[in-house]
């Protein structure tokens, strides 16, 4: 939880240098990075892929000071997951399946959008 994103994913940047250097997985999962809640959502809607959206978060002005406010951010959480999985050499979707879903017996749960859309009965 306390691993710095800069150590795990050195290419990731926020708009300001200090939060970029101090940002942790915990900060992203607790939505206190300063990213506005909708950061990246519009880009996804018009077809940008995950890697490009995460790269472009560096251009988003913060909605609050680092660690001073809460704002639910889909792509902030995504970066936390992507960065946490990087040391394994696997995608976060693979790691979630191996470490969370399978051990819990969640045989039809996935974090992959493609798996979601291929099932008629989904939530």
Q: What is the pLDDT of residues 18-70, one digit of tens each?
A: 999 999 999 999 999 999 999 999 999 999 999 999 999 999 999 999 999 99
* pLDDT of res. 121: 86
pLDDT confidence of residue 73 = 93
C-alpha to C-alpha distances, 26 to 1, 104, 112, nearest whole angstrom? 5, 23, 22
Measured distance CA(51)–CA(29) in Å, rounded: 18
- pTM assigned to the model: 0.88
* Closest residue by Cα to residue 27 from 63, 79, 92, 98: 79
Length of the chain: 123
């Amino acid at each position: 939880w306390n691993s710095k994103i800069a150590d795990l994913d050195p290419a990731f940047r926020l708009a300001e240098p200090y939060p970029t250097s101090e940002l942790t997985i915990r900060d992203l999962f607790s939505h206190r990075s300063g990213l506005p809640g909708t950061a990246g959502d519009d880009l996804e809607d018009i077809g940008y892929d995950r890697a490009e959206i995460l790269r472009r978060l560096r251009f988003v002005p913060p909605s609050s000071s680092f660690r001073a406010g809460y704002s639910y951010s889909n792509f902030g959480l995504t970066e936390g997951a992507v960065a946490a999985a990087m040391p394994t050499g696997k995608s976060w979707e693979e790691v979630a399946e191996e470490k969370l879903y399978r051990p819990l017996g969640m045989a039809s749960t996935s974090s992959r959008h493609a798996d979601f859309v291929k099932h008629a009965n989904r939530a």
